[in-house]
Structure 1
Amino acid sequence: MSKHYKNTRNSSIELLRIIATYLIILRHFVVFNTFDVWSQTLSIKKVVLEGIFYPSGKIGVVLFFLISAWFLCESPTSLKASFKRLWFLEREVLFYSIALFGFFCLFQHAQINTQLVLNTIFPISTNLWWYATSYAVFLILMPFFTKGLQTLGKQTHKACCLICIIMWSICGGIFNFISFDMPEQNVLIFLYLYTLVSYWRWYIKDPIQTKISILAITAGYAITTVSVIFLSFTNFGTQNDPSLQGMLGRNEWMLPVMLASFGTFALFKEHHFVNKIINSIAKSMFAVYLITVYPLSSTLLWQKLFNISNIYNSRALVPFIIIAGLFILTSCICIDYLRRWIFRITIDCNKGRWFDYAWEKLHSICRKTHITETNIP
């Protein structure tokens, strides 16, 4: 790879970050909407929503993490580096928790409660956004986890990956009644994905062929689509919970989700180009997630502004969701550009300076208590 590419963000990966966020928005039209898609009779639009849009959100979550994990594998694994990333994460999360709380206090104060106030003050520790909380915990554990995986060596690491895949993506990823203790929306999901992507990054040097990547993506969506048709048609095991019609796209570790996610990442990873506009827009993707998944924002978006109950029987349903998703994405990007401007003229004037100062103070205390630098990874 040329020096130019090494020193510049690959816009193919940044474009994938944008696509991943958009896929998450599409899923929310199904899972958070007031209209109950699951109870509708079998139709093409039902299959599209449940078999394509619904699992796409989990594919987007996996892609979002894979992009970060791919580069974290080759980054410094010190505890300081992890906490510095956590510092920058916390700033953005705290900004949006306060800003969104303030907005809804002005316009929807009836929905404000004590729990939301606590979530606003402590957004990560109270799990206001599960991805932010799980990722923060992952960053803290990553230096130790990475050193452990490196110590395993290639063959043992490979065996660990195979066992994890069999347990969670094959057995637990096909049969809904099998989980092997894999919890939903938990840091364990990230540790599992990191185990796989780190092996890929460290030991698999040959690029994955394009046709293999496309086959994996096609297989992933084909499995979710066929399963929705079969379960909707037969009602097999879904009488008490119609949402089980989309069980194979329900969680990040499900086999079809993993196939489509890793296939898509492999496809984009092998293409390199540079586009400053794409790179700039991609920096706002985490903010799009924070804005749209905030509890009161979610109610406003999917139950009021974009309730699909009045349009479900229209031929314009799928185009409406696609266009509305793009509108939501664009609007949130514009909001975050304002946040980035505020940061640029305030706390980013000396970016990282406060953290470095706090870390040095902590390091000084550690030395005095005989916790030397060699004890901290």
Structure 2
Amino acid sequence: MPRFVFPQIIPEFLVFRQSLVETIFFASSGYLNWFVTAYIIMYILSPFLNILILRLSRKQFQMLLVIFLMLSLSLTVFHNPSVGTTGDDSVWLIIVYFFGAYVRLFKEDLENISSTVYLRIFFGCMMFLIFSTFGLFYIQSKFGLDAGNNLYKRLLSGFSPVQLIAAFCLFLVFIRAKPFVNRRINKIASTMFAVYLIHDNGLVSEWLWNRVILGSRFQNSWFVLMYAVVAAVIIFVICSLIDIIRQFLLSGVEKRVVEKIASFKVFKEVD
């Protein structure tokens, strides 16, 4: 091997090894993105969260959800980091987990309200987000407020109570929907998380977007929207095919691993 190759290979290997260690210990500069890291942490904590959830009375659970909403509102309005979540971390996923657990345990409390009402709340939240965004942007521009505060982005943040309520209502609408089964759709749906993992991680994302896609070339062109759609479809198809092949080759191994993990008593579901 030529000598000039080693100065390139060795630094790359050291960077890879460092990033791999950072990934294992959930460092922000590792290969996993925020959602995967936060989801793994939430999953590890879920058995202990379930113990708390199962011991809460209906009244206590409702009060806890109200407290979560108030904290979310406080963080959105006052942007106080002491509240403990940025909307893209395990703390926020745990809060969402509690909302889902309430639906699982006390579904009858929510069945008295029609899906139409939930849809109205959802679209009301969406309209509120749209108009408040433009309104706050106008106020910030008109009165020369500090642009660094990004007031118009507050309600669009990941920890926004408006987004949480909207997502909760939409979830309640879909769990009531008539079951629909289609093998092709289910097969494609089974690859969605893999599509996310494959194209949006530290190993691939920078190379993909900045060297292959390079959408900035068309940012001032009418072609940009068409290019974005075509690029997204191509990425989706390629990543889906990769995962379908993975499923075909490793489905047996994956099934045994999942069954082994599920057999642990500590990972029981919320009944």
TM-score, scaled to structure 1? 0.56
Matched-pair contact (CA < 8 Å) for 1:220–1:255 = no
In the alignment, does 2:218 pair up with 1:311? yes
Residue 155 of structure 1 deviates from its aligned partner by 0.4
Residue 335 of structure 1 deviates from its aligned partner by 1.3
Q: How does 1:140-219 map to 2 (within 5 A)?
A: 140-168=44-72, 170-173=73-76, 175=77, 177-179=79-81, 180-205=83-108, 206=111, 208-219=113-124
CA distance in 2, matches of 1:110, 1:245: 46
CA distance in 2, matches of 1:266, 1:195: 14
Matched-pair contact (CA < 8 Å) for 1:232–1:245 = yes
Matched-pair contact (CA < 8 Å) for 2:41–2:90 = yes
Of 39, 49, 68, which aligns to 1:135? 39
Q: How does 1:319-334 map to 2 (within 5 A)?
A: 319-334=226-241
SS in 2 for 1:295: coil
The share of aligned pairs that are identical, in percent, is 20
2:174 — aligned with what? 268
Matched-pair contact (CA < 8 Å) for 1:292–1:298 = yes
CA distance in 1, matches of 2:95, 2:258: 33
Shift in CA distance, 310/260, structure 1 to aligned 2, threshold 3 Å:
farther
Deviation per residue, 1:264-283 (Å, 9 max, x gap): 32222222111111222222
Shift in CA distance, 299/132, structure 1 to aligned 2, threshold 3 Å:
same
**Residue-pair matches, total:** 249
Residue 143 of structure 1 deviates from its aligned partner by 1.5
SS in 1 for 2:147: coil
Q: How does 1:196-345 map to 2 (within 5 A)?
A: 196-205=99-108, 206=111, 208-233=113-138, 234-235=140-141, 237=145, 239-240=147-148, 245-251=152-158, 253-271=159-177, 272-344=179-251
Residue 249 of structure 1 deviates from its aligned partner by 2.2
SS in 1 for 2:80: coil
SS in 1 for 2:57: helix
Matched-pair contact (CA < 8 Å) for 1:134–1:186 = yes
Matched-pair contact (CA < 8 Å) for 1:220–1:258 = no
Matched-pair contact (CA < 8 Å) for 1:207–1:270 = no
Matched-pair contact (CA < 8 Å) for 1:291–1:332 = yes
Deviation per residue, 1:314-372 (Å, 9 max, x gap): 44544543443333222211111122222136x34x7239947xx99xxxxxxxxxxxx
Deviation per residue, 1:44-102 (Å, 9 max, x gap): xxxxxxxxxxxxxxxxxxxxxxxxxxxxxxxxxxxxxxxxxxxxxxxxxxxxxxxxxxx
CA distance in 1, matches of 2:120, 2:84: 30
CA distance in 1, matches of 2:237, 2:112: 33
RMSD of aligned Cα (Å):
3.4
CA distance in 1, matches of 2:232, 2:162: 23
Greater relative CO (CA pairs within 8 A, separation 6+)? 1
Give every structure 1 segment of 4 or more consecutive aligned residues whose post-TM-superposition deviation is greater than 4 Å.
Answer: 108-111, 353-356
TM-score, scaled to structure 2? 0.75
Q: How does 1:109-128 map to 2 (within 5 A)?
A: 112=12, 114-120=14-20, 123-127=23-27, 128=31
CA distance in 2, matches of 1:299, 1:125: 22
Matched-pair contact (CA < 8 Å) for 1:154–1:203 = yes
